Amino acid sequence: MQYNSAMDKISERILQELTRDGRISNLELAERVGLSASACLRRVQDLERRGVIAGYRAVLDRGALGIGFLAYVTVGLNSHTKASQVAFEQAMGRAPEVVECHNITGAVEYILRVEVADLVAYKRFHTDVLGTLPQVNAITSYVVMGSPKDGRG
C-alpha cells in the first residue's frame, strides 16, 4: 500500500499493522513499529484526529453468515442526468445485497459488489431489484469464482 508522501515511515508502518489487525493492543503495535507505547498512542490518535484512520470494523466470515455467492455487476443508465444517478444510488442504498456501489468512468456508470446466499438469491436481486429500476439500461454480471487476494479480510 502506498501512502501520502507527507507521511513518515513510522506512520506508514502503524497504518499497515492496523490494517492487518485493527484490534492489536497499543503495546504490541508500539513494539512492531519501534516506538514507546505513549509515542505510538499519540501517533494513532493523531492519525484518527486527522481522519487518516476513519474507523475500525470487524471482518466477517461470509460463509458463516450464509453468503456463498459474490458477483461484481456493471450497470449502465439510460439517461446521464443527475436525477437518474440520484435515483439509482438511493435504490442501491436500500438494497442489502449491494455491499459496494461505485460510480465509475468508462462504458457504464456503476460497478456493484453484490453478496447473496446463492444463485437463486442473485437471480431474485437481478430481476426484482435491478430489473425494475427505470433508469437501468444495461446489466453485466461477473461471478467471482475465487479470491486469491482480497484486501478486505
d(CA 41, CA 37): 6
Q: 106: helix, coil or strand? A: coil
Give the per-residue pLDDT at 151: 76
Residue 42's pLDDT is what?
97
Laid out side by side, the sheet with 98-103 consists of 98-103, 110-116, 69-77, 136-143
pLDDT in 10s for each residue of the chain, 153 residues:
555 555 799 999 999 999 999 999 999 999 999 999 999 999 999 999 999 999 998 888 899 999 999 999 999 999 989 999 999 999 999 999 999 999 999 999 999 999 999 999 999 999 999 999 999 999 999 999 999 998 776
CA separation for the pair 117, 52 (Å, rounded): 34
